[in-house]
Structure 1
Amino acid sequence: FIPRHEDELELDVDDPLLVECEDGSWCHGYNMRTGERGIFPSFYAHEVVCPVKENVVLKGNSPWVQMFDVQFLGSVEVPHHQGNGILCAAMQKIATARKLTVHLRPPASCELEICPRGVKLILRGNDRPEDERCSHFFQMKNISFCGCHPRNSCYFGFITKHPVLNRFACHVFVSQDSMRRVAECVGRAFQEFYQEHVEFSCPTEDIYLE
């Protein structure tokens, strides 16, 4: 969505949104990729329903959750669902764009919560209470590739597929330390998700860890 007025919010494909209110055919919300707020046509917002907790504990085992403190650089649409070249190109594109706006809009601090159900991104800041923090949940079945940059492991990204359309997006993060543990954690989570759910109910689908 390309804004034509100052109060409108620019949107790109697969931008994670927090819809704060809806009035007729327009929404007011927060774009977690850009950190901006504004209004946009409700047509562009697609609700993503997180799986309920009861579905996770069917076997009586509490699911593990691992958290990492990182910085969210942004998301960008990519042409394919896997490939280290695709991942690196997305990282380069986002990093280049960030250099132009880093003084105006620094990277957002966030937490990554990783578990076999998926990856949850929780943005911090803005002096908001913990229960009002902006968050977005990526279901594990929609994550197709993840890895660190081969020359700088402080950069990490993962690729997701749109839940409805044949489109893909790469989400990029950075940390002061190596993020290989994050990549390994996502890989472990997918393996457990596959063993518990996919191999019994869905066609085989692999995650590629670089």
Structure 2
Amino acid sequence: MNLTWLLYHSGAGSFGVFSCVLDGVERQQSHRAAYRFVPRHSDELYLETDDPVLLLKQSEDLWCQGYNMRTGTTGIFPAFYAVRLPTDTIQAAKDSSIEKFLVRFLGSVQVPIHKGTDMLSSAMQKVACNRRLAAQPPSACVLEVSVRGVKISVQDQCHSAHRGDQCFHFFQLKNISFCGCHPKHSKYFGLITKHPDQQRFACHVMVAETTLHPLAESVGRAFQQYYRENIGYSCPTEDIFIE
């Protein structure tokens, strides 16, 4: 079972930038499906809302040819069924200093609120129950943490002929609302992300053999650096000395 299946069949969109290896080259999504599109002809592309789409060609008749990075299929669809990702979102996925952590990906679930240890613990329990019901071992996963965001790379066991065996999701720090380890079982780590356009949230859960506190601390350092570089300097303060 792969990351894509878990995200979309659990009712939780990734809310990040999706990418995968196509013909040996890593490609990032350019668009996101805004609506569900059900094909009427064999050359049309099936889309679910929030599907990651790589736009290949746009015709003057307002139809596009695209690649659905979730399903690994290519076809045409009406142009207004997909929206372009903001340029800063795509650029943020290309990063500098990175810390890497090897974990196992348990799954994702949509959550009603964007923060809180209780919310995180509840989501972890639900994801763990879903994993047991699925009777599938968790996939190997690499988390890359930087000041730009968090990249989740999961071994994809359901890839197409053109897509490689790795699929990725990238979350900008500004779209990560809460993260941390389980308060009693620190080998579980959760990351709550926000939908870029709507008030919807999803929690992504990982597990390891030992404590994941170093991962939580790494994300914390990334947030501190992000604050210094993007907020601290945009709202400078002056020291006031009283003699």
**TM-score, normalised with respect to structure 2:** 0.62
State the superposition RMSD in angstroms.
3.7
Change (3 A) 1:45 1:86: farther
CA–CA separation in structure 1 for the residues paired with 2:127 and 2:82: 22
- Structure 2: gaps of 5 or more residues: 1-7, 23-28, 34-42, 48-66, 236-243
Asked whether 1:177 is paired with 2:217, we answer no
Secondary structure of the residue that 1:152 maps to in structure 2? coil
1:85 partner letter: D
Between 166-175 and 127-136, the greater mean CA deviation after superposition: 127-136
CA contact (8 A) 2:14 2:169 kept: no
CA–CA separation in structure 1 for the residues paired with 2:83 and 2:131: 25
* 2:14 equivalent in structure 1: 15
1:26 partner letter: Y
Question: What's the CA shift string for 1:92-140, capped at 9, x where partnerless?
Answer: 11001111112xx321111000001000001125498997621010001
After TM superposition, list the pairs within 5 Å mapping 1:150-189 onto structure 2.
150-189=183-222
CA–CA separation in structure 2 for the residues paired with 1:13 and 1:127: 19
Asked whether 1:95 is paired with 2:124, we answer no
Shift of residue 46, structure 1, vs aligned partner: 7.6
1:75 partner letter: S
Secondary structure of the residue that 2:91 maps to in structure 1? coil
Question: What's the CA shift string for 1:46-98, capped at 9, x where partnerless?
Answer: 857432578x6xxxxxx421101111111111111110000000001100111
Asked whether 1:117 is paired with 2:116, we answer no
Change (3 A) 1:51 1:18: closer
CA–CA separation in structure 1 for the residues paired with 2:128 and 2:45: 34
Question: What's the CA shift string for 1:129-183, capped at 9, x where partnerless?
Answer: 9976210100011111111001110100011111110111111000011100000
CA contact (8 A) 2:114 2:192 kept: yes
Change (3 A) 1:149 1:11: closer
Change (3 A) 1:90 1:166: same
CA–CA separation in structure 2 for the residues paired with 1:186 and 1:100: 30
Shift of residue 200, structure 1, vs aligned partner: 4.5
- Structure 1: gaps of 5 or more residues: 1-8, 57-62, 203-210
* 2:228 equivalent in structure 1: 195
* 1:51 equivalent in structure 2: 91
Q: What is the number of residues matched between the two proteins?
A: 180
CA–CA separation in structure 2 for the residues paired with 1:172 and 1:83: 15
Change (3 A) 1:197 1:108: same
After TM superposition, list the pairs within 5 Å mapping 1:16-165 onto structure 2.
24-27=44-47, 29=68, 31=70, 43=81, 47=85, 49-51=89-91, 63-102=96-135, 105-124=136-155, 126=157, 133-165=166-198
2:126 partner letter: K
Change (3 A) 1:145 1:53: closer
1:144 partner letter: S
Task: Name the structure, 1 or 2, with higher relative contact order (CA <8 Å, separation 6+).
Answer: 2
CA–CA separation in structure 1 for the residues paired with 2:158 and 2:198: 36
Between 128-137 and 160-169, the greater mean CA deviation after superposition: 128-137
